[in-house]
Structure 1
Amino acid sequence: MSENTVISRTDSPPTAKPVDMSRTGPWRTRMWRVLTERVRTWRTGMWRRGRFVAAAAVLCTLLMALNTQVPNGVGNLGSLLQTVLPWMGLSVVALLAAAVARRSALAAVAVLIPAVTWCSLFAGTFLDKRSSGGDLVVVGHNVHEGNRDPRGTARALAASGADVVALEELSRPAVSAYEDELAPIYRYSAVREGVGLWSKHPLKAVRPVEIMPWTRALRATVDTPKGQVALYVAHLASVRVLPSSGFTTERRNESAGKLADALRAERLDRVVVVGDFNGAAEDSALAPLTRQLRSAQREAGAGFGFTWPAAFPVVRLDQIMVKGVTPVSSWTLPATGSDHLPVAASLRL
């Protein structure tokens, strides 16, 4: 190598790349930052998810709170909703489950609104308002024309201790069975086609009430030791839920209107109406009838008192309603051979 040869060398080190401290820092710091970011994202998402569930909760609230405003113009949807209204509580449970599944705070808060609405409508129903006493015990039962054990049904009703037994849907072949079993306890009776009364107290002024072309209602004066009571037994026209026409209640509503007319013409102050209304007392289509009366179950019962179907009751079609007397207790009796449960009430005259 000659003296003139120049050796080139770099005195400074290569330029270093920027260091990401979040990647090279201590592992605890990295984990904390990741966790914080995920919590922030989760909290934000809780209030963004579940909008469909929240909207459904609002709709459920409106249906319950404004059930009397739902029109009957299409398929009698208003009457159908009011008949099954207590079961709207299940929709609250379903919405709450959906809110939990979506992990949505928005939906969970929204579900509180229909829950409070349902409680405001029905919480008082679960209070036991029954008490002892009473001057007249009345039992009503749709015995079902296809009942295979009318004698057993009659014996069960007689064992209830009722002062008056009012029956609907009596078939002609079964009438004699009911008369034979009830006669030893109930000296007085009146049967008109499909409805009948059996009483421990004298029955006077017995007459059919024309609510349909054939006899489905009966009126009698029960002469009790505490005075006279006008007692009606009625079986309103049947209803159906059909895909083509919805909730078919027109004939039932017409028969309810005719019974309401008869009640307006009633001269006695104390009135008891027993029967299968084929609808809930809350159904506004029955208002011409029910606004003249008070429900024994609502005033002196415990729970909803559902009566149909007997195997698993979901609605209360069978009613004991009063005017001028005070219900002190209301209850349902055990199942018989019918598809309805019997209903009973103790009344103070």
Structure 2
Amino acid sequence: MIHPALIKKQRLILFISLLLILATIVIGLGMGSASVSYDRLLHILLGQGTFKEEFVLFSIRLPRILITLLAGMALAVSGAILQGITRNDLADPGIIGINSGAGVAIAVFFLFFPIEAGSFVYMIPLVGFLGAVLTACLIYLLAFNKNSGLQPVRVVLIGVGFSTALSGAMIVLISSAERTKVDFIAQWIAGNIWGTDWPFIWALLPWLIVLIPFTLYKANRLNLLGLSEPVAIGVGLSIEKERIILLLTAVALAASAVSVTGGISFIGLMAPHIAKALVGPRNQLFIPVAILLGGWLLLFADTIGRNLIEPSGVPAGIMVSLIGAPYFVYLLLKK
């Protein structure tokens, strides 16, 4: 049974997180090269703005904000799952190579397969998922020991190796590509939010609508997987079956997110850790908090980055890495 005081604390933190998200959205809607007056925002949202104001808000800023928010949520849940099934606090889809696997698959698809604009938007999350699944399976097989089970430290070490190798493969792919296609892949590597139109939201949203509630449904299984294997087996949990199902869920969430945002790391590391520090390690409590924190962190990083340097700004992936890399080192030393 969860203590009522913890539930009350969780609800307060969720409320504060929602306020942070709303405040960042409002600030982001008004900031940019074509500034929009804040006292005009409500009028524009109600359809009472000029053509220019409505174009800037509904065609440029709002889709990007929603994409960034949804992708941050997906990456946070993916990181929470990976940390649970590997029992490793340093697991993150970007750090252990899953994002890179998705990126290589998307780059190959983009460079070598004929693409129709209409189907491309909906195909890239699926292509990213296939590349990420293949990478995750290889990492899992190499980190698994039949005598002692999954080795948490090996997961991170092998994952970092895969991430480096796949980044090298991406550079090889770029070297033989056309200039316009190289620009796209370079943006992806840097974590530049490139999928900023409404169709990308409709491509990403179904994955989150299905997989986030599924993860919350499996929260108690994640609690058990966080215990030692003999205890989990003792309560009747099919460890390998649950790990594989949850691993596929984490991979799908990460791949769907990075397919439209580019190579974003550290959100899946930071959001679950901050959430655990606030409400404790029980998955039913911290995953909802991590969802909102992950969305806000990526949204905040992108809002700062795109307004920092004119005209193109700093990619969100770089901004997140500036925060996340020191945090990763801190966790590495602490754990």
State the TM-score, normalized to the length of structure 1: 0.26
Structure having the higher Rg: 1
State the TM-score, normalized to the length of structure 2: 0.27
**More strand per residue: 1 or 2?**
1
